[in-house]
Amino acid sequence: MAKPNRCESCNDITASSTRDLLNQDLAKQVRTAYDRIEDRGMSACLFGSGGTCCRNCNMGPCQIIDGVESMVGICGATADTVAARNFARTVAGGTSAHTDHAREMVRGFIATAKGETPHEIKDVEKLHDMAQLFGIETADRDKNEIALELGERALAEFGKQDSSPLTMLKRAPLKQQKIWKEQGVEPRGIDREVVEMMHRTHMGVDQEYHNITKQASRCALADGWGASMLSTELTDIMFGTPVPKRAIIDLGVLREDMVNVTVHGHEPLLAESLCLAAEDEEILALAKKAGAEGINLAGVCCTGNEILMRRGIPVAGSFIQQEMVLATGAVEAMVVDVQCVMQSLAQVVKGKHTDIITTNYRAKMPDGVHIQFDEHDAYASAKQILAHAVGNFKKRGEYYIPKDKKFDVVVGFSHETINYMLGGRFRQSYRPLNDNIINGRIRGVGALVGCEHYKYSDDIHFEIAKELIKNNVLVLATGCAAQALGRRGLMRPEAATEYAGDGLREVCETVGMPPVLHVGSCVDNSRLLIALTAMVKEGGLGDDIAELPAVGSAPLWMSEKAVAIGQYFVASGAHVIFQDLPISGAKKFSEYLLKDIKEEFGACWGVQSNPLDIAKAMIAAIDGKREALGINK
Ligand code: CUV
C-alpha cells in the first residue's frame, strides 16, 4: 500500500502534485516505485554499485575486490577491466537506445519524403543546411526529392562499413575533430560502434581499461554526433524546429471533461500522428457522443518533451510521475512506445478503466493492449488508438485531478531559438552570448540533463539550478530534469527576476527569456553539442569545447542513455558531473575517468554526492575555464 505520508513528513517526494495525489484515498491503493523501494528492504549490492560484478561469462558471476589477489575473476580479469567493461556496456546500451530511436525517425523521414505519411517537410532551411553537410545538390530541386536523398544518406550512416568518420563529425570545431582523429575515436558506422563495443567486452577480448574506454568514447560519439543529432535534425525538418511557446505542465493538465490520452516514451512519430488525429472530425464526433468535450492529449517523459517543444502540448508528468498520472483515475489511455516505460503501469491501472496501449512491436507488456502503430498508415493507426481511448471515457470511475497543480513554462529553446533570442532578428549569432560571458554578466553555461530517481528528492534539480542561476550561470535543460525545473517555476521569464544573479537577470530581462531554457528531449542533447560548437566558432572563448566555460550534469540519472550522453560530452571536451557512477570498486579505472582522461579530451567525469556540491563543482569548473581564458575578472 502506498504510504504517502512518508513523503509529506520527510519531504522525499517533492512535486507537490505527487504528494497531493498520493494523499487521496483513491491513490492509497496504488503501489508505486516509492513503495517498492521501501519494500525491497535491502541495500544495493556493493559489487554491483561499485562496478565490479562480472557476469559476462558462465564461469562466474565473479565478484571482484580490487587489490585482493584471490578476488580477481576466474579468467583473471581485474577490477579495472571488469568495471571498464561494465561501464562500456552501459554506454553501448544507451547508445543502442538512441540509435534505434534515430533509425525509426529516419525511416519515418524517408516515408514522409515519399508522401507516405500524414506529415510534411516543414523546415526547408534546415533541410538545405543538412543537405549541404551531406554534399547533396539542392538547386532547383523539390524539397521532397532533397529530403529523400538526405534520408537515404542518413540511413546509410547507421550501417556504414568503411572506416571514414561519420558525416556529422564535420560539424564539430576543427580542433575537436583533430583530437578525435589523434585519439583514434572517430566513429565510423553508428551500429558498428555498438557491435564492436559489445564484442570487445565479451569474455576474453579487450582487457585493458584505457583501450576499452577508447571504444566507449567512439561508441558514445556515434550516439551524440551521429544517431542523436540525426534524429534531432531530421525530426525538426519534419515536424518543425522548436520556437518559443507558452505551455503548462504537471498533473493538473488532465481534464475532467475531456478524453485524457497520455503519450509516454520517446519516438515522436507516434505522438505527432496522435496530435493530428486528435483534431479529426470523426474522432471529435465520437468523443462528443461519449459525452466528452474532445481529446486532451498530454505527454509524459521525453515524448512529452518532443510535443511540448514543437507544439506546446501539455506535459502531464515526468519519469517519476508516470504512475501518478495513472493513479488519478482520470486517464482513458496511456499510449506508450519505447524506453523509460515502467512495467508497473499495467498494475497501477488494474481495476480502473484505463488501458495501457503498447504500439511498438519492440516493446510489449503483460496486461497491456497492443495496437501496432504503422508509420505508413500513421493517421489510421492514430485514429484507431484514439477511438479505443474514447471508448473508455464512459467507464471512468472515481478520479482525482489535482487541478491547481499546473505550471506555466516557456519552452522551445532549440539552438536556433537561442541564436535568435540572444543574437537578435538581424544578427542571429552567438556573439552576444559570448560577449555576455566575456564581460561577466553571464558566468558560463550549465546543462542539467537526464532523468529523475525515486531514491532522491526531485527538489535536487531545483536546488542545483537555483544555485547556478543565482551565480549567473545560464542553465540549459533537457529530459526529465527540464520537466522537474518547469514544475518549480524556473521556466518562466519572471524566474530571472526572482532567482537570477544581477548579470544573468539583466540579460534575461532584456530579451524576455527564462534563466533556465528547455532545450528538448534526451536525444536533443545533441542541440547542446551544436550550441557549444556555435559558441566556439563565434570566437573569443577558445578554439574548442574544452575551453568554454560550460559544464553538464545529470544529477538524478537512472537510464543507460544518461551514461552514453555523459561519455559523449566528456569525449567532446565538456566536463560532466554525476551524483554517482558504478566505477568506485576499481581504483585505477576510476582515477582514469575522473581525472586522467582529461589529458586526452580536455574534460573528465566528476562525482559529487551532495546536490549543492554538484552546483558548487559546476561553478568551480566554469570559473576554472574563465581563469584559463583570462576573463575571470
Ligand atoms: Ni529520454 S532517459 S527518464 S525520458 S530523461 Fe526522463 Fe528522457 Fe531519463 Fe527517460
φ and ψ at residue 477, rounded to 5 degrees = -125, 145
* Domain residue ranges in the chain: 4-47, 86-239, 245-393, 411-629
Entry field: residues in the chain: 633
Ligand 1 centre from 75 Cα, in Å?
A: 36
Nearest CA to ligand 1 atom 3: 451
Mean pLDDT of all residues belonging to the chain: 94
Q: What is the pLDDT of residue 44?
A: 86
CA distance 41 to 405: 32
What's the CA-to-centroid distance between 411 and ligand 1, angstroms?
17
Specify the residue with its C-alpha closest to ligand 1, atom 9: 340
128, pLDDT greater than 50? yes
Q: State the Cα–Cα distance between residues 556 and 564, nearest whole angstrom.
A: 15
Phi and psi, residue 465, nearest 5°: -65, -40
Distance CA 117, CA 533 (A): 34
Closest CA to 430 of 511, 526, 532, 529: 532
pLDDT of residue 14: 58
**Nearest to residue 173, comparing CAs of 397, 430, 394, 420?**
430
> For the domain with range 86-239, which CATH number is right: 1.20.1270.30, 3.40.50.2030, 3.90.550.10, 3.20.20.140?
1.20.1270.30
**What are 270-314's pLDDT values in tens digits?**
999 999 999 999 999 999 999 999 999 999 999 999 999 999 999
Cα 566 to averaged position of ligand 1 atoms, centre (Å)? 14
Q: State the pLDDT at residue 425.
A: 55
Mean of the pLDDT values across residues 463-468?
A: 96
Q: What is the ipTM of this complex?
A: 0.94
CA angle in degrees (0–180, nearest 5) for 179-180-181: 90
Nearest ligand 1 atom, CA 450: 5
Q: Can you list the positions of beta strands (E) in 412-486?
A: 444-448, 473-478
pLDDT given at position 424: 63
pLDDT of residue 7: 39
Q: What are phi and psi of 130, to 5 degrees?
A: -70, -40
Q: Distance, CA 248 to ligand 1 centroid (Å)?
A: 19
Pocket of ligand 1 (CB under 6 A): 266, 301-302, 319, 340, 450-451, 479-480, 521-522, 559, 561
Out of 228, 340, 519, 561, give the residue to mutate to test ligand 1, the one with the largest number of ligand atoms within 8 Å of its CB.
340
Overall fold of domain 245-393: Rossmann fold (3.40.50)
What residues form DSSP beta bridges with 517? 476
- Sequence-ordered list of residues with C-beta below 8 angstroms from that of 439, at least 6 positions apart, any chain: none
98, 184, 214, 267 from 219: Cα distances, Å: 11, 12, 9, 21
Report which protein residue has its CA nearest ligand 1's atom 8.
451
What pLDDT, on the 0 to 100 scale, is given for residue 11?
47
Average pLDDT over residues 220-237: 98
The confidence score (pLDDT) of residue 269 equals 94
| pLDDT, position 42 | 79
- What mean pLDDT do residues 455-481 have? 94
The alpha carbon of 450 and the centre of ligand 1 are apart by a number of angstroms equal to 6
* Confidence bin at 427 (pLDDT 50/70/90): low
Res. 333: pLDDT tops 90: yes
Q: What is the pLDDT of residue 5?
A: 35
Q: For a ligand 1 pocket test, name from 105, 455, 561 the mutation site with the most ligand atoms within 8 angstroms of its C-beta.
A: 561
What is the predicted pLDDT for the residue at 2? Answer: 40
Q: Going by DSSP bridges, is the β-strand pair 473-478/516-520 parallel, antiparallel, or unpaired?
A: parallel
Q: If you take atom 1 of ligand 1, which residue's CA is the nearest one?
A: 522
Q: Give the position, in ligand 1's atom list, of the atom nearest the Cα of 561.
A: 2
CA 268 / ligand 1 centre spacing (Å): 14
Task: Identify the CATH number of the domain defined by range 411-629.
Answer: 3.40.50.2030
Burial tier of 158 (Cβ tally within 10 Å: 0-12, 13-18, 19+): buried
Distance 303 CA to ligand 1 centre (A): 9
What letter represents residue 374's amino acid? D
Rounded-to-integer distance, Cα 613 and Cα 58, Å: 41
Burial class (CB in 10 A: 0-12, 13-18, 19+), 11: exposed
Report whether the peptide linkage leading into residue 61 is cis, meaning its omega lies within 30 degrees of zero: yes
Select from 98, 232, 267, 302 the residue to mutate for testing ligand 1; criterion: most ligand atoms less than 8 Å from CB: 302
Q: Is residue 232 pLDDT above 50, yes or no?
A: yes
Distance (Å) from CA 479 to ligand 1 centroid = 5
Per DSSP bridges, beta strands 53-54 and 62-63 are antiparallel
- Region 591-619: mean pLDDT is 96
Domains 245-393 and 411-629 share a fold: yes
- Pocket residue to mutate for ligand 1, from 90, 232, 305, 319, most atoms within 8 A of Cβ: 319
pLDDT at site 554 = 97
For a ligand 1 pocket test, name from 308, 480, 558, 579 the mutation site with the most ligand atoms within 8 angstroms of its C-beta. Answer: 480
- What's the pLDDT score for residue 610? 87
The candidate with the shortest Cα–Cα distance to 352, out of 298, 397, 290, is 397
* pLDDT score, position 398: 95
- Tell me which DSSP letter residue 166 carries: P
Residue range 610-624: mean pLDDT, rounded? 94
DSSP 277: H
Average pLDDT over residues 138-158: 98
